[in-house]
Amino acid sequence: MRKVIVTIIVSVTLIQLTAQQNIDEKVNELVSRLTLQEKIELLGGTGFDSKPVERLGIPAIKMADGPLGIRWGNATAFPATIALGATWDKQLAYNVGKGIAKEVRDKGRDMLLAPCVNLVRTPHGGRNFESYGEDPVLTAVLSTSYIKGVQSEDVLACIKHYAVNNQEYKRMTIDAVIDERVLREIYLPAFKSGVQNGNVATVMSAYNVLNGTYCSENDFLLNTILKNDWGFDGFVVSDWGAVHSTLGTAKYGVDIEMPNGKYLNETVTELVENGDVDQEIINDKVRRLIKVAMRFGFFDDRSYQSKEDPYDANKKLAYDAAAAGIVLLKNTNSILPINVDEVKTIALIGPNAAVNRAGGGGSSRVNYSYSVSPFDAFMSKYGDKLKIISEPGVRSKTELNIIPSQYLKTEFNGEIVSGFTGQYYNNKNLEGDPELVRVDEKIDFKWVAGGPAESIGVDNFSVRWKGKLIPETSGKFELGVASDDGVRLFINGEKVIDEWIDRAVAYNGYALALESGKEYNIIIEYYENGGAAEVGFGWIKADSQLLDKAVAAAKAADVVVVFAGLSEHYESEGYDRPDLTLPEDQLKLLAALDQLGKEHVLVINNGGQLVMPEVYANADAVLEAWFPGQEGGNAIADILTGVVNPSGKLPYTIGKKWQDYSSYDYYPEENDQIFYKDGLFIGYRHFDKNEIEADFNFGFGLSYTQFKIDDVKLSASKISSEADQLTVTCKLTNTGDVAGAEVIQLYTAYENPKVVRPEKDLKKFEKVYLEPGETRVVELSVIPSDLAYYSIEKRSWVTDNGKYYILLGSSSREQDLVQRVFEIDLK
């Protein structure tokens, strides 16, 4: 029997080797037929595509943004990655990756610029919502599952942003100064797992500098670690505009420069010809690109015929992911779930009640075709049974209500028509004669997959809109523009907004009193540099009654749910959050509601931590709903009413104040550097080490049922060989009377470690669904290498002999963990 197995293994390996050799031979053969100029052309993209070589049938690889869904035309908006992190559910992460990839295929794209695996280090980070949280293992496991899901549909995943891109502040230039051990143990494991366990096709190099060298030309990051240590055989794309040199980038890093080959296409030829860059380096880059293309079937028929409508199937998946990620942080006196059979009037208060905050801002923003707010969901589920009142209480000042064309007038070809006249220029500075002049009915543009017109292109253009604004009512208004990139607004000849800079989409407003029927001369100037392009012109009318109406609604209701939090206007790529609590006006609304002395449930939307202990303390129940994607309202309503039992767990620690966080002493910068002196101690590792009491711990989340963990057993008390596995089992019972899911979390701790080590680290986890009364045996295992640290001296991973602890439980809180001891004694 044994012989047969050995023979089979040997032949399978041989077949694999031969297949590998075949691919390598084919790739080499193709590379040998390319001219140097053709090879160099391949090193730069064209917007969101790589370049084809038609002569040899080498196709373009068509990319599109993620990770919350595909940003290309209308698509499904899934919950933000942080919500996926909070599901702690590997299968769901796989399914979401696969679901998105089906839409990628349907749209004829090939590569998804996702997942984002940068950790939440500082709560200020503008892109925290695109991260899986603060822990390297949670991030690695879930993002690798997502990658496998994406690639199961023959779509290339792109793990980003490599590496140590943990803040938006000065993201293009900040130098992250970090020790190698910290880099390898905390910030790189997800990338490593993506490469080694997920076989990810591509990696995106980050904008920032790492230890003095830009990530896109960082020999140590890209060659030493990624390509040599980890054996990555896919290709590296630069982040959009992250390349700063020709020589360094050609030699040390990136294989394809995006969005165009500003450096790699232009001057590389000269460098190869004069011997500064060995042609073999160029061959390697091209080989990587072609090899991935072969692996993903680009030389075969890639036409796509899906059996089902992916957008339809993804509605349920987006809902499931949103529901599974919502975290119940507090539930005093079991005020939740709301019993809809007993309640008559329910008040949904706050700026996020009737608006679904699907995602954060920037390149991850999906153009969804519908989005369900909590109010929509309550109305459709209970509208005929309950009295449902919704009052925003405050108007979020960054809300952009696009001004409809009936209020805009312009003279065009001698006639007065609705809209503004747009003059479109083929440069970024409104120079020369416009290439195109037309009337735009309103200013509300999101150009993702194409520019305003073929003659204008997708990047490097500018527009000047002119016309008159004629309001119908008088009162205090705010006029606002949201744009990616630069914008200026003139009212009656006065420049009131001037943001002529490259930026991810951001909002600026200007308050003024408008008079009904009066004409206001408006000029909007806008330019687009690269990547996505958008611009909108809107207004908000101030309503002094808003707060009073919300308080009155709360007074009249049996149940009050407040929907507070952030939106894509507060949390976005391109900038960090200046403060960590709710916007001022929302705090005023909560204070006014508190004065009523009525019980209330608080539902929050956000990506990074909202640090606000008093607000949490004043609420009777708190639901962390994240940015929940297009199905957010349905998921929130079902959790609030108990149709779904909450099972999310926090993927990061919520502290009581900003000073509690590990990055506090170093963020945002010091002379253009950000020091990672908190070392291994980010997130709960820092709270543990410094004995800081968190408001809500990493891994924490309540349920409407109760679980019991007992019978925690280890398969051995000692591990004596690298290959040995320690199996940890426990019995998990749902002792309550509703079905639900619990996440069993396994941490390890070290007794008298020889080197500095965190007090405990998450190593394994499993989400388990149980019917009421059901018991399941849960099994998790660790091997010695799971307990290793990176030794800079030895330049390798080391597991020391000694005494270790398994800490098993339902959160990282001390009281939720059962401790067992074991020994490692490797010869």
Catalytic residues, by residue number, are 239
**Residue among 151, 118, 144, 115 at smallest CA distance from 133:** 118
DSSP label at residue 102: H
Is there a cis peptide before residue 229, judged by omega within 30 degrees of 0? no
The two three-digit tokens of residue 802, written as one number: 């000694």
- Give 88's Cβ-side CA count (13 Å radius): 32
CB of 264 to ligand BGC, least distance (A): 17
| Omega of the bond leading into 259 within 30 degrees of 0 (cis) | yes
With contact defined as beta carbons under 8 Å apart, do 356 and 630 qualify?
A: yes
Measured from the Cβ of residue 284, the count of other Cβ atoms closer than 10 Å reads: 15
CB of 113 to ligand BGC, least distance (A): 4
Q: Tokens 């590496």 map to which residue?
A: 163
Q: Which of residues 213-272 bind ligand BGC (CB under 6 A)?
A: 239-240
Alpha carbon distance 87, 146 (integer Å): 13
The residue whose two tokens read 């028509």 is 417
- Residues shown for the chain: 827
Among positions 502-531, residues that touch ligand BGC (CB under 6 A) are 531
Q: Which residues pair with 762 in a beta bridge?
A: 747
Contacts for 371 with CB less than 8 Å, ≥ 6 apart: 77, 356, 358, 630, 632, 633
- In the complex with ligand BGC, the residue whose CB is nearer, 240 or 507, is 240
> How distant, in Å, are the alpha carbons of 487, 539, 700, 713, 807 from that of 729?
59, 59, 21, 5, 12
In this structure, are residues 193 and 333 in contact, taking their beta carbons and an 8 Å threshold? no
* 224 C-beta neighbours (distance < 10 Å), count: 13
Q: Tell me the closest approach of the beta carbon of residue 605 to ligand BGC, in angstroms.
A: 21
Give the Cα separation of 184 and 186 in Å (integer).
Answer: 6
Looking at the Cβ atoms of 509 and 531, the one nearer to ligand BGC is 531
List binders of ligand BGC among 160-199 (CB under 6 A).
Answer: 160
Distance, CA of 776 to CA of 741 (rounded, Å) = 12
Q: For residue 156, count other CB atoms closer than 10 A to its CB.
A: 28
Strand order across the 63-65 sheet: 63-65, 111-113, 156-162, 202-205, 235-238
d(CA 425, CA 460) in angstroms, rounded, equals 9
Which has the closest alpha carbon to 172: 660, 459, 531, 692? Answer: 531
Nearer to ligand BGC among residue 81 and residue 609 (C-beta): 81
Quick one: how many helices (H) and strands (E) in the chain? 17, 38
Complex with ligand BGC: residue 226 or 327, whichever CB lies closer:
226
Q: What does the buried/exposed string (b/e) look like for 2-15 if buried means 16 or more CB atoms within 10 Å of the residue's CB?
A: eeeeeeeeeeeeee
Q: Judged by CB, which is closer to ligand BGC: 174, or 340?
A: 174
Query: Least distance from C-beta 606 to ligand BGC, angstroms?
Result: 20
Compose the 381-420 pattern: x for residues touching ligand BGC by CB under 6 A, - for all others.
----------------------------------------
Size of the site for ligand BGC (CB under 6 A): 8
Neighbour-count burial for 316-348, b at 16+ CB within 10 Å, e otherwise: ebbbbbbbbbbbbbbbeeeebbbebeebeebbb
Q: Is 771 exposed, middle or buried (0-12, 13-18, 19+ CB in 10 A)?
A: exposed
Name the residue nearer to ligand BGC (CB basis): 45 or 337: 45
By CB under 6 A, residue 113 contacts ligand BGC: yes
Q: What does each C-alpha distance from 401 to 23, 478, 559, 686, 796 come to in angstroms?
A: 54, 10, 30, 43, 56
Q: Return the bridge partners of 790, or none.
A: 797
Burial class (CB in 10 A: 0-12, 13-18, 19+), 815: exposed
Q: Answer for the pair 138, 191: CB distance below 8 angstroms, yes or no.
A: no
The contacts of residue 265 (CB under 8 Å, 6+ apart) are 40, 41, 43, 44, 257
Whose structure tokens read 């609030």?
640
Distance CA 525, CA 521 (A): 13
Q: How far apart are CA 151 and CA 83, in angstroms?
A: 21
Nearest to 607 by CA among 122, 12, 204, 18: 122
Give the whole-angstrom CA distance, residue 697 versus residue 812. 6
Residues 331-370 that bind ligand BGC (CB under 6 A): 363
Residue 65 sits in the site that holds ligand BGC (CB under 6 A):
yes
CB of 729 to ligand BGC, least distance (A): 41
Contact, 485 vs 455, CB < 8 A? no
Give least dist CB 240 to ligand BGC, A.
4
Q: How far is the CB of 312 from ligand BGC (least distance, A)?
A: 27
To which residue do tokens 């980038």 refer? Answer: 249
Bridge partners, 331 (sequence order): 621
Place of tokens 């009037």: 345
**In the complex, which residues of this chain contact ligand BGC (CB under 6 A)?**
65, 113, 160, 239-240, 363, 531-532
